[in-house]
Structure 1
């Protein structure tokens, strides 16, 4: 299918697949070959911006098809892992993720260079410009009226002639639906915009933001920053069956268009509705989530179906740390949004991205001087993190060895999600009210 692009001087948006469709590897490879054949890569410096290991994505299939199409036309191709502020991927992890034997990247992807987005190194970045306080207020509908924010991005992207995003679209707690320009900001961006964009999402709250279609305030902010990138921006966006290598859909075009097309499919693929709330959820986290910073998705995606006063248990015996890259979380703990806003003078100097993560995992609630903090649901960690540390960050603790998964599955008051982190659960809207959805552009 070919759709009309919403961007001027852009390649036409092309797409195959739909909700429920299972594309074959041959169909995906052929689509990529045809789509990219329209782009002139000759003599160009190309940056491929791809997800890290916390996102389900059949990268070996996709990158193999891209390599076959681009061949030796490009002057250079650099694969940049969009870590945001996640920890760097080891050589062993990169090999598994990208599909080559350890130490043999050159044999599988000859001529390509693979790099982590090293957010911890100042030399990683190029400054593109500034979003003023006045413009920030416009983009966020007045949620934030400043400060002005510098827009910095990985120099491999800024120095490229073509920046091609390759990655999936899922419901997301900060922006509504992930993917597209989000792979630039926060995927390979500086800390300033990461903190600010995540705090905008936190002000709206994860409960109101996650799975929201269209251009949310955070998406508007991301698109504004992406427009500053001095290169041709393209994207291969896709909808992946969670936890598998199966694609339901794949789209190619400018990031704004290909993302919108896939967000529409994701809204019909990655959102599951239930008729009634449950008292308890057991979120079983896959091993790809290595700390609570990333495994918190097991809360975001399930909290909407939990009854007031209920509980979400994050079950991940393999996790032993709150956050590898964000030590402030262990200092401030997990609290709802109003806890921070009501005591802003105490917290305004803490990185706003850490405050946002704290509120996202703690969930909905209130705070006042008279009543203190009151949270809608209980958040319990059944992990390898010691009990004293869990309780010190304002969460409940369960010994993971005490969890009987089969008994939980048999309990009518408990919902067990065996592969938590990507599928969003919601309560079905009352009769006569439409469910939130995204529409295909064009």
Structure 2
């Protein structure tokens, strides 16, 4: 599978309402006016609305957007609930939640009167309701034959307890699905473990390097859309494209999650992808503090793997990070390995969470495995973090003391690409160089 190059707007994108574009930077007034106009004409009066929003690991001016949504819906809808799409990330406590949504600690009711805010408590089985099952044959069809396994579609019951589910969040190139956003805020955003594991493992089988930044409906996107079609609530989406690392927006689109996402993904493909003429020997990915562990900071590898030469290295520089994953301690036990390490020893690993296996392969990148030669990975992955060296090496990664990192020296090295605020912008080789890395 290779990255698709769209030649023009898709039919789905044309069905969405959109303001802005790749060259635009919208003002707060433009954003507010668009959100107000779209929601005012959406027939939501008297309905209960669940707004599904990202956690703090994505660049997004959520206070601006949520203020506009609240202003458009408060007093008109019967109930307004915000659900934080954690996936399987750590819950947000009051202080970070207040910063994220734009209210002083303890001041939710004053800032957003009548609005309830919930973390997606993915660790609690009572959180979920089952929507039904996608059969093994259907999964096989959607995945192009890569997987043939039935999956129970469970989702946070807050979604089904409301008349309308409104996705509100950004779109970026993504290592599992191609481009994030849209129905991905439901699955895996507020989903049960089964569909999370299956969808992520499907992405791992395709491989991150092949699926990330792929335009159109990838096999993983098709699976997610199929699951979302089972949601009984009316589904809508406000999909935004943010300037990476900032609160500025290039565009906002509105419609069904499929249509709004398609319109946003076209803009993201133009604004969140950088092309290089030749592969580099080394990358220094400088990770911002919004990534609190390697589970999330691994995006600094995903977005750069495509431009690293064979035998090269990606350094994740994040002195503030002190753990691989508090939520998924099993990753430290199995370590990081290429896809074939798992698929060719499937009986050893098939009963573990496939989502954890997927994360492992995504960070370790391309490689091969066989009994005679063992595991051979294409690039070296080095952590320059606050994680103890024995833990890093025990997870099958290379260690570098973060105090030894001289950013100026790396900048002066012609064979090193230094990426500040890494994790959101995808780097690729130009098409005629794709086979060089």
Bin for the TM-score computed over the shorter chain: over 0.9
Query: Aligned-pair distance for 1:53?
Result: 0.3
Counterpart of 1:125 in structure 2 is 128
Contact 1:167 1:179 in 2 (8 A): yes
Query: Aligned-pair distance for 1:40?
Result: 2.2
Contact 1:365 1:374 in 2 (8 A): yes
Contact 1:311 1:379 in 2 (8 A): yes
Alignment of 1:130-169 (within 5 A): 130-146=133-149, 148-169=150-171
Task: Name the SS of the counterpart of 1:65 in structure 2.
Answer: helix
Alignment partners' CA distance in 1, 2:165 and 2:92: 21
| 1:219 pairs with one of 218, 221, 225 | 221
Alignment partners' CA distance in 2, 1:149 and 1:68: 39
Counterpart of 1:239 in structure 2 is 241
Alignment of 1:334-345 (within 5 A): 334-345=336-347
Q: Is residue 405 of structure 2 the alignment partner of residue 408 of structure 1?
A: no
Alignment partners' CA distance in 2, 1:324 and 1:304: 28
Counterpart of 1:398 in structure 2 is 400
Contact 2:316 2:385 in 1 (8 A): yes
Contact 2:245 2:421 in 1 (8 A): yes
Relative to structure 1, the CA distance from residue 219 to residue 4 in structure 2 (aligned partners, 3 Å threshold; closer, same or farther) is closer
Task: Name the SS of the counterpart of 1:33 in structure 2.
Answer: helix
Alignment of 1:83-232 (within 5 A): 83-146=86-149, 148-232=150-234
Query: Aligned-pair distance for 1:4?
Result: 10
Task: Name the SS of the counterpart of 2:411 in structure 1.
Answer: helix
Counterpart of 1:316 in structure 2 is 318
Alignment partners' CA distance in 1, 2:200 and 2:86: 15
Q: Tell me the TM-score normalized by structure 2.
A: 0.96
Alignment partners' CA distance in 2, 1:309 and 1:104: 52
Runs of 4+ in 1 over 3 A off after TM superposition: 3-7
Alignment partners' CA distance in 1, 2:23 and 2:218: 26
Contact 1:4 1:13 in 2 (8 A): no
Task: Name the SS of the counterpart of 1:340 in structure 2.
Answer: helix
CA RMSD in angstroms, aligned pairs only:
1.4
Task: Name the SS of the counterpart of 1:430 in structure 2.
Answer: helix
Alignment of 1:326-405 (within 5 A): 326-405=328-407
Alignment of 1:26-41 (within 5 A): 26-41=29-44
Query: Aligned-pair distance for 1:181?
Result: 0.2
Counterpart of 2:274 in structure 1 is 272
Counterpart of 1:79 in structure 2 is 82
Alignment partners' CA distance in 1, 2:382 and 2:74: 50
> Which sections of structure 2, spanning at least 5 residues, go unmatched?
1-8
Residue range with higher mean Cα deviation, 382-391 or 322-331:
322-331
Alignment partners' CA distance in 1, 2:326 and 2:189: 17
Residue range with higher mean Cα deviation, 64-73 or 159-168:
64-73
Alignment of 1:268-307 (within 5 A): 268-307=270-309
> Which sections of structure 1, spanning at least 5 residues, go unmatched?
434-442
Alignment partners' CA distance in 2, 1:360 and 1:329: 12
Relative to structure 1, the CA distance from residue 411 to residue 26 in structure 2 (aligned partners, 3 Å threshold; closer, same or farther) is same
Contact 1:237 1:252 in 2 (8 A): yes
Contact 1:337 1:365 in 2 (8 A): yes
Alignment partners' CA distance in 1, 2:179 and 2:408: 33
Query: Aligned-pair distance for 1:43?
Result: 2.1
Contact 2:279 2:429 in 1 (8 A): yes
Query: Aligned-pair distance for 1:42?
Result: 2.2
Counterpart of 1:436 in structure 2 is none
Task: Name the SS of the counterpart of 1:57 in structure 2.
Answer: coil
Deviation per residue, 1:2-32 (Å, 9 max, x gap): x99759xxx9621011112111111000001
Alignment partners' CA distance in 2, 1:67 and 1:158: 20
Alignment partners' CA distance in 2, 1:207 and 1:125: 32
Contact 1:312 1:380 in 2 (8 A): yes
Query: Aligned-pair distance for 1:193?
Result: 0.2
Alignment partners' CA distance in 2, 1:235 and 1:24: 20
Alignment partners' CA distance in 1, 2:11 and 2:210: 29
Q: Tell me the TM-score normalized by structure 1.
A: 0.95
Query: Aligned-pair distance for 1:71?
Result: 2.1
Task: Name the SS of the counterpart of 1:394 in structure 2.
Answer: coil
Contact 1:141 1:217 in 2 (8 A): yes
Q: Is residue 15 of structure 2 the alignment partner of residue 15 of structure 1?
A: no
Task: Name the SS of the counterpart of 2:392 in structure 1.
Answer: helix
Query: Aligned-pair distance for 1:73?
Result: 1.2
